[in-house]
């Protein structure tokens, strides 16, 4: 159960100029040090997250699984600085989480598109806010940036809906747009909260492959929350399992299958065995 | 014929029918011109006196629109100030509601006292009377913005003003435009009222003078002009509202093939 821990143990506490060659510029490492979140105070206090520690290397792809309500979304909000820890520390790139310092792409659990903008304009939002795109936004929004949005929309099969409004799309379509918005500005840190939840199996598998290619292409650090163990196993390098509410991380295992992975792999006996193991683990923590 | 066409036809025939009834009843009951002139007489008066009435129409329009514009500017600034801070919203809301429930007509004598009679009190009344609905609506629109929408920008590291421009203000637009419709009507009422009491220009004043000279059909001509102006102003702003904030009403056009 603790087999995966040796991996994170090798990460330096601060990513001070890592000796390793490789990535062109330093990817943010991410660290939670006994971070906890408590909502409210006194009798009404709700512990959303028990003190949790977690380290991620630059370029890691970590999948976070666990029963509903255990605090997975809360962890993502801590990392993206939407929430502040009630205790402990959240370090992103070795510094305390400050959204401004690095490019974060976040796909929220509920697709939150601005209703007054078309899908295309919604997906362009990060380009409007984040440097270096912000500088040239005015010139490029009708040209280069729009092409970029359309290319991404084509990948997820929404090319015909660029100029539609969010309320004209189905739940799954919105979720795909939501994913596009998280990816458009080539973030260094990707936070994905059940991004494929509302999709049918085929679309989902298609998007997994797209996701894998995008990941291997740019190697961002990815934190993926999911309920789908096959999704976790197919995409991630590491799978963390959280206990029931209020959650902690109770298992942290690497996925030792070389990438790129073939989608057919998820039906292979070894893979099924691995997901079975995770399944049992979650079944255990749910009942306790 | 579509539903909307049928509704339009019905409401126009209702209006025409109303004036026909009026005409017919006046003739049948032999009502004196000095009490209630017939619509045909009123139209004739409007037509023959139009050259005299025109400058007054412009004057009323000028007071209304100037006061309204000032009111909108003040209202937007105050509304943004109140709406962007949760504390300011909670603290100021009761005061705003209190203010907006004062009959603003009561300020006319005060403005006359300060500025004398004429255009100034008309503009100021038009302004004061329309500020509060705008403040309340903008503040409500901003204060009820879904935090999830703001979170999208926060994770990207957007500044407070970027969030205001990209989320808060567009989100408050439907509220703002809905309040403009109300505000322009109020401004118009305010301007006419002030002209009636303290001015020698404007349709309000024309009606007042005509009434003291027993030019009854001119009084009614003024009334009809006011109604037409009020309706046009309202229509202009609801057209603008539909143009700008169509997203909030979501056209439900289901294609029938
Ligand atoms: N704003 C809030 N106020 C109070 N409690 C909250 C708030 N947000 C979350 N919680 C609580 O924190 C706990 C963890 O919530 P979180 O959204 O992180 O769960 P989750 O693991 O993402 O669940 P799911 O898989 O269903 O999305 C929940 O039990 C919830 O009741
Ligand atoms: Mg969640």
Domain boundaries, chain B: 50-246
Name the DSSP class of A190. E
The alpha-carbon gap from A168 to the nearest alpha carbon of chain B, in Å, equals: 9
What is the token pair recorded at A284? 């255990």
pTM to 2 decimal places: 0.78
Architecture of the CATH domain B50-246: Orthogonal Bundle (1.10)
Helix (H) or strand (E) run with residue A249 in it: strand A249-254
SS3 of chain B: helix, strand, coil, percent, to 5 = 85, 0, 15
Q: Which residues contact B64 (CB under 8 A, 6 or more apart)?
A: B126, B184, B187, B188, B190, B191, B192, B233
Q: Which residues contact A117 (CB under 8 A, 6 or more apart)?
A: A125, A165, A166
Q: Which ligand is nearest to the CA of A70?
A: 1
Calculate what percentage of chain A has a pLDDT beyond 70.
87
Indicate the range of A243-257, B6-20, B127-141, B158-172 predicted with least confidence: A243-257
With an 8 Å Cβ cutoff, are A125 and B151 in contact?
A: no
With an 8 Å Cβ cutoff, are A125 and B166 in contact?
A: yes
Nearest to B45 by CA among B206, B185, B256: B206
Band (pLDDT 50/70/90 cuts) for residue A166 is: very high
- Cβ–ligand 1 contact at A39 (below 6 Å): yes
Residue pair B77/B142 in contact (Cβ under 8 Å)? The answer is no
Rounded to an integer, what distance in angstroms lies between the CA atom of residue A201 and that of residue B75?
52
ipTM above 0.85, yes or no: no
Indicate the range of A215-219, B57-61, B99-103, B246-250 predicted with least confidence: B246-250
Indicate the range of A11-15, B63-67, B188-192 predicted with least confidence: A11-15
Domains of chain A: 57-81+97-287 (3.40.50.300)
Residue pair A119/A158 in contact (Cβ under 8 Å)? The answer is yes
Residue pair B201/B195 in contact (Cβ under 8 Å)? The answer is yes
Mean pLDDT, chain B, integer: 87
- Flag whether pLDDT at B73 surpasses 80: yes
Q: Which residues contact B137 (CB under 8 A, 6 or more apart)?
A: B79, B172, B175, B176, B178, B179
Q: Which ligand is nearest to the CA of A64?
A: 1
Residue pair B190/B123 in contact (Cβ under 8 Å)? The answer is no
Residues of B in contact with A185 (CB under 8 A): 156
Band (pLDDT 50/70/90 cuts) for residue B256 is: low
């Amino acid at each position: 159960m603790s087999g995966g821990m040796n991996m994170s143990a090798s990460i330096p506490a601060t990513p001070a100029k890592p000796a390793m060659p490789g990535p062109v510029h330093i990817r943010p490492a991410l660290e939670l040090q006994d971070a906890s979140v408590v909502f409210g105070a006194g009798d009404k206090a709700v512990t959303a997250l028990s003190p949790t520690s977690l380290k991620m290397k630059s370029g890691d792809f970590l999948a976070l699984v666990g029963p509903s309500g255990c605090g997975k979304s809360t962890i993502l909000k801590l990392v993206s600085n939407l929430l502040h820890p009630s205790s402990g520390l959240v370090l992103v790139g070795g510094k305390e989480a400050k959204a401004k310092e690095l490019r974060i792409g976040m796909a929220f659990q509920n697709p939150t598109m601005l209703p007054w903008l078309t899908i295309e304009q919604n997906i362009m939002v990060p380009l409007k806010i984040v440097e270096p795109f912000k500088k040239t936004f005015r010139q490029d929004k009708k040209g280069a940036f729009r092409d970029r949005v359309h290319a991404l929309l084509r990948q997820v099969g929404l090319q015909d809906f660029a100029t539609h409004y969010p309320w004209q799309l189905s739940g799954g379509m919105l979720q795909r747009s939501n994913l596009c918005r998280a990816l458009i500005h080539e973030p260094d840190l990707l936070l994905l909260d059940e991004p494929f939840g509302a999709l049918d199996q085929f679309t989902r598998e298609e998007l997994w492959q797209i996701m894998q290619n995008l990941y291997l292409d740019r190697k961002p650090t990815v934190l993926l929350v999911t309920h789908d163990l096959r999704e976790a196993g197919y995409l991630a390098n590491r799978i963390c399992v959280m206990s029931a509410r209020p959650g902690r991380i109770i298992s942290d295992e690497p996925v030792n299958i070389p990438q790129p992975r073939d989608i057919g792999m998820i039906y292979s006996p070894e893979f099924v065995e691995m997901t079975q193991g995770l399944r049992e683990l979650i079944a255990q923590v749910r009942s306790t | 014929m579509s539903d909307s066409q049928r509704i339009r036809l019905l409401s126009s025939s209702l209006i025409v029918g109303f004036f026909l009834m009026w005409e017919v009843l006046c003739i049948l009951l032999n009502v004196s011109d000095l009490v209630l002139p017939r619509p045909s007489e009123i139209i004739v008066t409007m037509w023959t006196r139009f050259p005299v009435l025109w400058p007054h129409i412009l004057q009323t329009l000028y007071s209304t629109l100037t006061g309204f514009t000032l009111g909108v500017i003040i209202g937007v600034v105050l509304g943004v100030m109140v709406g962007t801070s949760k504390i300011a919203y909670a603290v100021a809301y009761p005061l705003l509601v209190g203010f907006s429930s004062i009959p603003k007509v009561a300020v006319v004598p005060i403005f006359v006292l300060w500025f004398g009679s004429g255009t100034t009190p008309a503009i100021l009344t038009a302004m004061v009377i329309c500020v509060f609905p705008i403040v309340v609506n903008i503040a409500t629109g901003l204060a009820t913005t879904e935090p999830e929408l703001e979170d999208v920008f926060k994770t990207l590291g957007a500044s407070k003003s970027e969030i205001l421009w990209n989320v808060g203000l567009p989100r408050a637009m439907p509220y703002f435009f809905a309040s403009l419709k109300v505000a322009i009507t109020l401004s118009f009422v305010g301007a006419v009222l002030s002209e009636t009491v303290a001015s020698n220009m404007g349709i309000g004043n024309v009606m007042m003078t005509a009434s003291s000279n027993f030019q009854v059909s001119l009084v009614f001509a003024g009334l009809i002009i006011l109604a037409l102006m009020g309706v046009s102003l309202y229509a202009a702003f609801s057209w603008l509202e539909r143009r700008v904030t169509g997203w909030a009403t979501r056209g439900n056009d289901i294609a029938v093939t």
